[in-house]
Amino acid sequence: MPALNDAFDATTTTDDVMRGVSLAGQTALVTGASSGLGVETSRALAAAGAHVVMSARDAQKLDKARAEVVAQVPQAALDTLLMDLADTDSVRAAAGQALQDYPTIHLLINNAGVMACPLMRTAQGFELQFGTNHLGHFLFTCLLAPALLAGAPARIVNLSSAGHKFADVNFDDPNYRQRDYEKWQAYGESKTANALFTVGIDKRLKDSGVRAYAVHPGVIMTELSRHMDHADFETLSSRTPAGQELVFKSVEQGAATSVWAATAVELAEQGAIYLENCQIAQPAVQEGNSGVESYALDAAAAEQLWALSEQLVGQSFSF
């Protein structure tokens, strides 16, 4: 296994990661690109020469975000793609448009997400966090597989979270039809699903040169926290490992692990792994520790989730 960059840590920024990296001739697609980490990820990739497709559901916010990137990177090659991950019809339409316009994609950064929201449902009736964070990205990624295969070697980066520690996926009732809703548990289930999907998609595409990575970006004040109040931040603090404080990252630090996952040469022969602080995360050895829980990378659970996801979106995929 190639040695990792020991100089990279929680304070590493996107500019640190991308220094000396050229993405000329590559196409990258970033979801959730209308704010926060999505904008910074798009900026960093565009500054390295990639043709970046910025995707989000709000056209006005998306256009504003694109203008923000252009202001910082005047030479940026940027397109926009409207998609609502909480509506599988919108996901299918966006994927179809993307395949038509970008038959070759080298980097897919599944960055969009919702966190700790009240009980809400997607257009198809899925619990909003599971439906948006996992199912929307599951469907979109699988539909884009032909473009990713055409771009091989290509990479898929799925934003998970240390929130995966809050809960494993509930395969019996993923959409909270029979059980009481708890927003942090639901968030944790969706983030575990992001990691398990990483394992499932990497298994299916790795022999064709497409690798997948799950990323914990850290705790950053972005629009993702719009549903949170003081009590929610107290909850997060209470779940921080013993002896540690809840530390916030800047947006540039938060997006660093995403662009590292997308570009690091030392990860080229690896996949189905969970990354944090621009490093491969260690296994969590006890509850509350940093690192990744074993259930989030469990191969059998990944297959169970794949089958459930195909059932819920009403489409099977074979690559």
Active site residues: 187
CA angle 31, 291, 264 (to 5 degrees): 50
**Contact, 277 vs 14, CB < 8 A?**
no
**Neighbour count for residue 294 (Cβ, 10 Å):** 10
**Neighbour count for residue 70 (Cβ, 10 Å):** 14
Q: Compute the distance between CA of residue 40 and CA of residue 54 in angstroms, rounded to an integer.
A: 11
Q: Compute the distance between CA of residue 108 and CA of residue 156 in angstroms, rounded to an integer.
A: 5
Handedness of CA 233, 37, 191, 224 (dihedral sign): positive
**Contact, 201 vs 156, CB < 8 A?**
yes
Contacts of 307 (CB under 8 A, 6+ apart): none
